[in-house]
Amino acid sequence: QQRVLTGITTSGTPHLGNYAGAIRPAIAASHQAGVESFYFLADYHALIKVQDPARVQRSTLEIAASWLACGLDPDKVWFYRQSDIPEIPELTWLLTCVAGKGLLNRAHAYKAAVDKNTLDGEDADAGITAGLFMYPVLMAADILVFNANKVPVGRDQVQHIEMARDFGARFNHLYGEHFRLPEAVIDESVATLPGLDGRKMSKSYDNTIPLFASPAEMKKLILGIKTDSRAPGEPKETEGSALFQLYQAFATPQESQAMAEAFASGIAWGEAKQALFERIDRDIAPMREKYEHLMARPGDIEDILQAGAKKARAIATPLLTRLRHAVGLRDLR
Site of interaction with ligand TYM (CB under 6 A): 5-9, 17-18, 21-22, 42, 45, 139, 142-143, 151, 153-154, 156-157, 190, 192-193, 200-202
Cβ at position 249, least distance to ligand TYM in Å: 8
193 has binding-site annotation: yes
Distance, in Å, from the CA atom of 72 to the CA atom of 5, rounded to the nearest integer, reads 13
Cβ at position 152, least distance to ligand TYM in Å: 7
305 has binding-site annotation: no
**Phi and psi at residue 299, to the nearest 5°:** -65, -40
157/291 with CB nearer ligand TYM = 157
Beta carbons within 8 Å of 86's beta carbon, 6+ residues apart: none
313 has binding-site annotation: no
Residue 333 CB coordination number (10 Å): 7
279 has binding-site annotation: no
Cβ at position 24, least distance to ligand TYM in Å: 10
Find the largest Cα–Cα distance for the chain: 74
Cβ at position 160, least distance to ligand TYM in Å: 6
21/74 with CB nearer ligand TYM = 21
Sign of the alpha-carbon torsion through 41, 72, 276, 62 = negative
Q: Which DSSP string corresponds to 147-171? A: T--EEE--GGGHHHHHHHHHHHHHH
24 has binding-site annotation: no
- Report the Cα 264 to chain-centroid distance in Å: 34
Sign of the alpha-carbon torsion through 297, 313, 287, 52 = positive
Are 205 and 199 contacting, i.e. CB atoms less than 8 angstroms apart?
Answer: yes
**Phi and psi at residue 185, to the nearest 5°:** -115, 120
E strands, the chain, in order: 2-9, 35-42, 78-81, 150-152, 183-185
36/230 with CB nearer ligand TYM = 36
10 has binding-site annotation: yes
Residue closest to ligand TYM when measured from CB atoms = 21
Residue 229 CB coordination number (10 Å): 6
Cβ at position 317, least distance to ligand TYM in Å: 19
Cβ at position 276, least distance to ligand TYM in Å: 16
52 has binding-site annotation: no
156/183 with CB nearer ligand TYM = 156
Q: CA 220, 221, 224 angle in degrees (round to 5)? A: 95
87/142 with CB nearer ligand TYM = 142
139 has binding-site annotation: no
**Residue 323 Cα distances to 216, 254, 331, angstroms:** 52, 50, 10
Are 127 and 117 contacting, i.e. CB atoms less than 8 angstroms apart?
Answer: yes
Residue count of the chain? 333
Cβ at position 188, least distance to ligand TYM in Å: 11
202 has binding-site annotation: yes
252 has binding-site annotation: no
Cβ at position 8, least distance to ligand TYM in Å: 4
44/269 with CB nearer ligand TYM = 44
74/194 with CB nearer ligand TYM = 194
58/200 with CB nearer ligand TYM = 200
The 3-state DSSP class for residue 210 equals strand
Binding site residue list for ATP = 9-11, 17-18, 154-156, 193, 200-204
Feature table: binding site for L-tryptophan:
142
Specify binding-site residues: 9-11, 17-18, 142, 154-156, 193, 200-204
